[in-house]
Chain A
């Protein structure tokens, strides 16, 4: 009698919804949810039905332990009772309104208390809203044009931050953005030597988490050298903490790495899935931030702000960053060990609360794609191109079940390859 194996999923309803989607929506499902990076495509669902804790169910009724966490916003688990209650209470009282809500003031005060760098806070809806604002503030404050960014770094889809050749992007959109490699202080020095008197600021994520590539932590002393060089040059340091914010440190990821930027952009995990972003900054930039005109119809919706306060409070109570890091370590250590047992080498990079894993036995990620697909069709939602995310809702039992899935996926991989 053969060894018991896990059931694999099929996605008939997802496919039917996608057929309808492509007729009504460009691309069917667009942006970072588009099917293009989901390889093999037949291993992945396109449409979800419901979600609870660390799980979601797709429209075919398949259950997934979610290690993408909505690509970051889900940090406490879906449908978290305290966050949802805070949102609902505020939403019933007033969400969109003609004047601002006191919740905005309370949330700003909360962030100023939590984040040592923050002397003020500004709110919007998406990460790009505040990366754009940060760049505008830097330009306004310095009266300079150029922004230095990291090659492969992502700060939203605004034209200035997209790569050349993308549709709708003009060469002029990119002419004031200078890209340098991550962890390369000499490259930064060269840019400052060349065009330093026109450098408004430097924007980077706290550690480098590109897609389709190993993630890289800051080298020892990197951020300190960067901030020293830029400040000496009269330029500002902007941390894009949209993805990592509140998963590494509740005071901003810069606290984990021991440096002081001038501006920090937050979104994703700030309100456990409710739409909100925040820019916080140092006192010296308060007036410049006030002068920049930047707004949006939904930026004052108070429900998300109430949700954010509840979310940050729970994260603090749970010691969220350390809990997620421990869960991530348990998960990744387990996967590495299981992979080894099947004769595969697995490399783990990045921070453990949002790790990037890659099978190193191939040089074209195809093995990695197959394995992630096999895991997903068994109920552990893994992508092969992007870092994963842990939440505080994942439990040891969830990790154990996930490791069983990983084991079965490796068996399937070996069978497919005839090993």
Chain B
């Protein structure tokens, strides 16, 4: 049985690293853009005694506010982190506290975008033959990893210890030649913040030769050391920042499958 701490971390990852991808999915996938094009509402996810986040859809865009108490059109309540995690695994439903008139939307429309997100985050072998799919999966995997770091370093006991040893600096992760990019700002005090896009002056960089290389690595189909030796993955700068980031990233499978 998952411990309380594990459930807290998993819930934070589900929201702040996975669900957060809804911000960017419509910019990567035309079908996702079509789904949300006419939406104009906000949905709040509140976990008792824990975090509250909000997704806002407007004018074809999605904005994710972590840790906000701002009002929303629909408010979904969860008794616990385990309850939220169960919803992510289709084993439970949230408790709607507000927006009863939108229940139809929640039941019929909202799942379309989360299912689209799930489609791109859980690839099958056949889908990975599709170049367009690979591009989206790669970007979402990169962003999920980056945002997961800022959660794990705060809550995962091992990642917390790793984070405390890390110097201040900015690690940029780039898929060449045209992106996606993400960067993680380490504060040197055990904290980190993830940002989509390239950094102005990174302290260290991990660059993937191309999207296919990054995708193979993200999906566990590439030996990273071999790829480094073959220059398919290039490391530069403060290597301990990269090594310690990898240690934190290696914690993700303990919480997310």
Please give the residue numbers on chain A whose beta carbons come within 8 Å of chain B beta carbons, in ascending order: 15, 18-19, 22, 27-29, 34-37, 39-42, 46, 151, 163-167, 171, 211-212, 363-366, 369, 385
Q: What residue in chain A is nearest B229 (Cβ atoms)?
A: A35
Contacts of B235 in A (CB 8 A): 36, 39, 41
Cα–Cα distance between A29 and B201 once the two chains are bound (Å): 31
Q: CA A363 – CA B203 in complex, angstroms?
A: 7
Would B250 and A167 count as touching, CB distance under 8 A?
yes
Residues of chain B contacted by A364 (CB below 8 angstroms): 169, 201-204, 237-238
Task: Give the CA-CA distance A150 to B243 in the complex, in Å.
Answer: 20
Q: Which residues of B contact A15 (CB under 8 A)?
A: 229-230
How many angstroms between the C-alpha atoms of A218 and B9 in the bound complex? 42
- Known: A28-B226, A46-B229. Contact between A164 and B238, CB under 8 A? no
The verdict on B219 contacting chain A, using a C-beta distance below 8 Å, is no
Give chain A residues whose Cβ lies under 8 Å from the Cβ of B162: 163-165
| B243 adjacent to A36 (CB under 8 Å) | yes
A279 to chain B, nearest CB (A): 28
Complex CA distance for A23 and B204, rounded to whole angstroms: 29
Q: How many residues of B contact A (CB 8 A)?
A: 30
Known: A41-B231, A365-B238. A28 touches B225 (CB 8 A): yes
* Interchain residue pairs A-B with the least CB separation, the first 5: A164-B161, A22-B226, A165-B162, A165-B247, A35-B229
Q: How far is the CB of B75 from chain A (nearest CB, A)?
A: 38
Closest B residue by C-beta to A151: B165
Contacts of B223 in A (CB 8 A): 22, 28
Interface 1/0 per residue, B88-99 and A, CB below 8 Å: 000000000000
Minimal Cβ-Cβ distance residue in B for A368: B237
A residues in contact with B201, CB < 8 Å = 364
Q: Give Cα A146 to B201, complex, Å.
A: 41
Known: A22-B229, A28-B225, A363-B203; 4 extra A-B contacts, CB below 8 A, are: A28-B229, A42-B231, A163-B165, A165-B248
* Pair B239/A212 contact, Cβ less than 8 Å: yes
Q: Are A165 and B159 in contact (CB under 8 A)?
A: yes
Task: Report Cα–Cα, A166/B244, bound state, in Å.
Answer: 9
Query: Are the C-beta atoms of A366 and B158 separated by less than 8 Å?
Result: no
15 pairs of residues in contact across A and B, judged by CB atoms under 8 Å: A19-B226, A22-B223, A22-B226, A28-B226, A28-B229, A29-B229, A35-B229, A40-B234, A40-B236, A41-B234, A151-B165, A164-B165, A165-B244, A167-B247, A364-B238
- In the complex, residue of chain B having the shortest beta-carbon distance to the beta carbon of A163: B165
Q: Which of A19, A29, A151, A385 contacts B239 (CB 8 A)?
A: A385
Interface status of B157 (Cβ within 8 A of chain A): yes
For residue A151, which residues in chain B have a CB less than 8 angstroms away from its CB? 165
Specify the chain B residue showing the minimal Cβ separation from A37.
B239
User: How far is A385 from B162 in the complex, measured between Cα atoms in Å?
Assistant: 20
Q: How far is the CA of A42 from the CA of B235 in the complex (A)?
A: 11
Residues of A within 8 A of B226 (CB): 18-19, 22, 28
Closest A residue, CB atoms, query B232: A41
* Residue B240 interfacial (CB < 8 Å): yes
In the complex the two chains form, is A166's CB within 8 Å of B157's CB?
no
Q: Is B195's beta carbon under 8 Å from chain A?
A: no
CB contacts under 8 Å to A, within B22-56, are none
When the two chains form their complex, are residues A39 and B158 in contact, meaning their CB atoms are under 8 A apart? no
Q: Provide the bound-state CA to CA distance between A166 and B162, in Å.
A: 9
